[in-house]
Amino acid sequence: MTMPPNDESPWKKLTQPKGNNSPKPGGTPAQDPKRRYFLIALAGLLVVLVFVSPFSKSSSSTTLPYSQFLADAKDHKVKTVTISNASGEITGTLTDGTSYSSIGPNPAIPEDVTALRLDGIDVKFNNPSGLSNYLPLLMYVALFGVLMFFVMRSARSQMNGMMSIGRSKAKLFNEDRPTTTFADVAGYDGVKQEISEVVEFLKTPGRYKAIGATIPKGVLLVGPPGTGKTLIARAVAGEAGVPFFSVSGSDFMEMFVGVGASRVRDLFQSARKQAPAIIFVDEIDSIGRKRGAGLGGGHDEREQTLNQMLSEMDGFDPSEGVVIIAATNRPDVLDQALLRPGRFDRQIVVPLPDYEERLPILQVHAKNKRLDDDVSLELVARGTPGMSGADLANLVNEAALHAVRRGAQTIGMEDFESARDRVLMGQKRDSTVLRDDDRERIAYHEGGHALLAYVLEKADPLHKITIIPRGMALGVTMTLPEEDRHIYSRQHIEDSLCMRMGGRVAELLIYGDLSTGASDDLQRNTELARRMVREWGMSKEIGPMAWGSNGQVFLGEDLVHTRDYSDETAKVIDDEVERILREQESRAIEVLTLHRRGLTSLAQALLENETIDGDVAARLIDEAHGDPVHPSGSKTVSSLRTTTPVPPTDNETSLSAGFEPPALPNA
């Protein structure tokens, strides 16, 4: 699958719906400090105008009593006089240039005015308009009104944030937004065909309604993580040409009871207003799990949300022209009422890609990479069975990073090989220093796994062995499948059990005792053997009967683990599991005893080189045995190169027999 477009593009901001239920009362975090500073400055200005301006007289102005003013005028000390008819205030300048002010009678005494003019003083009268008298008061009222407006607006925003908590958080994508299309989704032609029918129905409903076809109400995308379910939904948004609402299942849940159901109602109401429309719910298992858990009853918040969604999809008032697309990797936990036809009419499986699909996916991800001429993406696709689209994207990126680390200008096949080893086996732990006797024990442990993987007929082919600590393991033996398998035979499972016993048995043969390194091998073998007995009917004592694994508590099925068989049957199951494991241990002892020289050769080669590939291991085993173990050809999968004309497909890669570090003993 291609990498989705950057979510932080400007288009995301343009398509953000108005009225989004954002927990940011009063504005965005970037605006709140600016608004706060503005209000503080406005309040300060108001205080200054109210309390400071009345006293802001010029420091050079002299206040004179009225009698003194008249006496100075007679002494020819006054140059100009301005009398205010509104307040009786007298202002002007003295002969020495000093400003003065005085308060006289209002109205002014005519005799005094005549005397001033006779003394040669320029007398003027100031007649202010009515508006100017009230201008300071009006200014104070306006400033106070602006201040109260911002205060009330902030309070209203906070109240709206609290009251709008039940609104949907879905993001609306309009048709004019450029985004991912089906052309950007490599492979999965069948999935795109079924999805494109829904898109075409919304675009041209007349073609389908002419023959009586009705639009599917729901499409459920099911598949392992990383297979591109969300990316396919984004491609639908780019192809639909109709309003597309995208929301995650976790967006419905909140700490307040009833919020989830309210958001579901708001989402469908918004979609109905813009019908035809598409609603995409990612990770729907977070709200669509089975009801009846007994952990809260009918008032459980998740159960109320699910009930509301069931009602909106196909209830008393069904939605017309609204299609819901959902994605999950846990279809087993979904409520059956949600999966029935009429709600989710189609369930589309998005599996792990096979070889024919991995190649175009790799080509898409390598499109902008600088590759060497010797790089063959066909070989990389053959050598990456079981990888999802996200794994392949990570593989190409890891190869590019490895090329940069080694100082190369282009990406070569060695970079892809190193990237694959890192993805499958883990990062090297160069800081881990092992003692010589520990390294030797690990070498024999991994050699036992590798020898059995090569000798046993039905085991997966051997790829690489290393005693360099990687990930959580101190050593790793890696095998890869060589052909397409959808079912596994009993012999293949038994060979896998025997191969995992190789490390434990090799230590027992060489040292005569055991270590904690086989803990993971024993755990995985016990689980696999128990499934053989309980689920797959591969035990003669149990016969054609199967009991599934115990229901998990989080599914709401059982609060206490129960079983549907008696204690006697449980003892038979335990005995059969023990018998299978002991038989494979005896078989491993027999094979390793026969090829002990090959085991020693592998251990010595690992101590010298630390890492050897499958071809080298096969040659050492054949030389120690004296004859080729497999006359028809070596059963190995080595570096990224052509090994077989049959391309491997979507089987799981086996990281067999990692030597686990000792665990702390239980208290």
pLDDT score at 601: 94
Residue 26 in this model has a pLDDT that exceeds 50: no
Which residues have a Cβ under 8 Å from the Cβ of 367 and sit 6 or more positions away? none
Q: How far is CA 297 from CA 34, 293, 304, 561, in A?
A: 48, 7, 10, 20
Phi, psi of 59 (to 5 degrees): -65, -20
pLDDT score at 585: 95
Sheet holding 171-173, edge to edge: 171-173, 244-248, 277-282, 322-328, 218-222, 346-349
Q: Which CATH architecture has domain 170-349?
A: 3-Layer(aba) Sandwich (3.40)
Phi, psi of 432 (to 5 degrees): -80, 120
Both tokens of residue 54? 């009345």
- What is the number of alpha carbons within 13 Å of residue 80 lying toward its C-beta? 9
The one-letter amino acid code at 474 reads L
List beta partners, residue 194: none
| Alpha helical stretches, state H, 277-405 | 301-314, 336-339, 355-365, 377-382, 389-405
For residues 171 and 369, the model is more confident at 369
- Does the annotation count 576 as an active-site position? no
Residue 448 in this model has a pLDDT that exceeds 90: yes
Catalytic residue among 283, 398, 440, 446: 446
> Averaged over 123-132, what is the pLDDT?
66
Phi, psi of 521 (to 5 degrees): -60, -45
Q: How far is CA 202 from CA 189, 199, 214, 225, in A?
A: 20, 5, 11, 28
Both tokens of residue 356? 């024919």
Give residue-wise pLDDT tens across range 480-502. Answer: 776 656 788 899 999 999 999 99
Contact by Cβ (8 Å): 517, 469: no
pLDDT score at 382: 78
Give the highest mean pLDDT range of 264-268, 424-428, 521-525, 550-554: 521-525
- Phi/psi class of residue 296: alpha, beta or left (left: φ > 0; alpha: ψ in -120 to 50)? left
d(CA 2, CA 232) in angstroms, rounded, equals 10
Per-residue DSSP letters for 79-95? -EEEEETTT-EEEEEBT
Please tell me the least confidently modeled range out of 45-49, 172-176, 261-265: 172-176
Which residues have a Cβ under 8 Å from the Cβ of 392 and sit 6 or more positions away? 353, 358, 361, 362, 365, 384
Sign of CA dihedral 448, 451, 457, 461: positive
**Stretch (H or E) spanning 138:** helix 130-163
Burial of 234 (0-12, 13-18, 19+ CB in 10 A): buried
Per-residue DSSP letters for 250-298? GGG--SSTTHHHHHHHHHHHHHHHT-SEEEEEESGGGT-BPS--SSSGG
Give the highest mean pLDDT range of 320-334, 380-394, 589-603: 589-603
Residue 564 in this model has a pLDDT that exceeds 80: no
**Mean pLDDT, the chain, integer:** 75
For residues 104 and 648, the model is more confident at 104
For residues 665 and 386, the model is more confident at 386
For domain 436-656, give the fold. Methane Monooxygenase Hydroxylase; Chain G, domain 1 (1.20.58)
Residue 557 in this model has a pLDDT that exceeds 60: no
Terminal alpha carbon distance of the chain? 48
d(CA 633, CA 640) in angstroms, rounded, equals 18
Give residue-wise pLDDT tens across range 46-87. Answer: 666 655 554 444 445 678 788 888 887 877 778 888 887 767
Contact by Cβ (8 Å): 299, 199: no
The pLDDT confidence band at residue 30, using thresholds 50, 70 and 90, is very low
Read off the pTM.
0.63
Give residue-wise pLDDT tens across range 453-470. Answer: 999 988 888 888 989 888
Both tokens of residue 174? 């309009």
Query: With pLDDT > 90 as the criterion, what percentage of the chain qualifies?
Result: 16
For residues 81 and 11, the model is more confident at 81
- Phi/psi class of residue 537: alpha, beta or left (left: φ > 0; alpha: ψ in -120 to 50)? left
Query: The domain 57-128: what is its CATH number?
Result: 3.30.720.210
Query: Coil, strand or helix: which one is 316?
Result: coil
Q: What residues does each domain of the chain span?
A: 32-53+133-163, 57-128, 170-349, 355-425, 436-656
pLDDT score at 531: 92
Based on its alpha-carbon atoms, the radius of gyration of the chain, rounded to whole angstroms, reads 42
Please tell me the least confidently modeled range out of 266-275, 450-459, 650-659: 650-659
The one-letter amino acid code at 89 reads E
pLDDT score at 252: 66
For residues 170 and 280, the model is more confident at 280
- Phi/psi class of residue 181: alpha, beta or left (left: φ > 0; alpha: ψ in -120 to 50)? beta
The pLDDT confidence band at residue 647, using thresholds 50, 70 and 90, is very low
Count CB-CB contacts under 10 A for residue 573. Answer: 19
> Averaged over 574-589, what is the pLDDT?
95
Contact by Cβ (8 Å): 636, 463: yes
Residue 1 in this model has a pLDDT that exceeds 50: no
d(CA 231, CA 667) in angstroms, rounded, equals 48
Contact by Cβ (8 Å): 260, 169: no
Contact by Cβ (8 Å): 447, 603: yes
pLDDT score at 289: 76
pLDDT score at 10: 39
For residues 651 and 348, the model is more confident at 348
d(CA 66, CA 100) in angstroms, rounded, equals 11
d(CA 139, CA 559) in angstroms, rounded, equals 71
Cis link prior to 276 (omega < 30° from 0)?
Answer: yes
Query: Coil, strand or helix: which one is 121?
Result: coil
Give residue-wise pLDDT tens across range 191-246. Answer: 888 888 877 887 777 787 788 877 778 888 888 888 888 888 778 777 777 777 87
Cis link prior to 665 (omega < 30° from 0)?
Answer: no
Residue 40 in this model has a pLDDT that exceeds 60: yes
pLDDT score at 526: 95
Query: With pLDDT > 70 as the criterion, what percentage of the chain qualifies?
Result: 73
pLDDT score at 317: 56
Query: Coil, strand or helix: which one is 651?
Result: coil
For residues 16 and 141, the model is more confident at 141
d(CA 429, CA 476) in angstroms, rounded, equals 13
Phi, psi of 230 (to 5 degrees): -65, -35
List beta partners, residue 405: none
Sheet holding 80-84, edge to edge: 62-63, 99-103, 89-93, 80-84, 122-126
d(CA 73, CA 78) in angstroms, rounded, equals 5
pLDDT score at 562: 57
> Averaged over 266-283, what is the pLDDT?
80
Residue 577 in this model has a pLDDT that exceeds 90: yes
> Averaged over 30-57, what is the pLDDT?
60
- What is the number of alpha carbons within 13 Å of residue 281 lying toward its C-beta? 27
Both tokens of residue 521? 């091998």
Q: Does domain 355-425 have CATH number 1.20.1250.20?
A: no
Instruction: Name which of 296, 275, 655, 341 is nearest 500 in CA terms.
Output: 655
Phi, psi of 463 (to 5 degrees): -115, -55
Residue 158 in this model has a pLDDT that exceeds 60: no
Instruction: Name which of 427, 395, 429 is nearest 411 in CA terms.
Output: 395
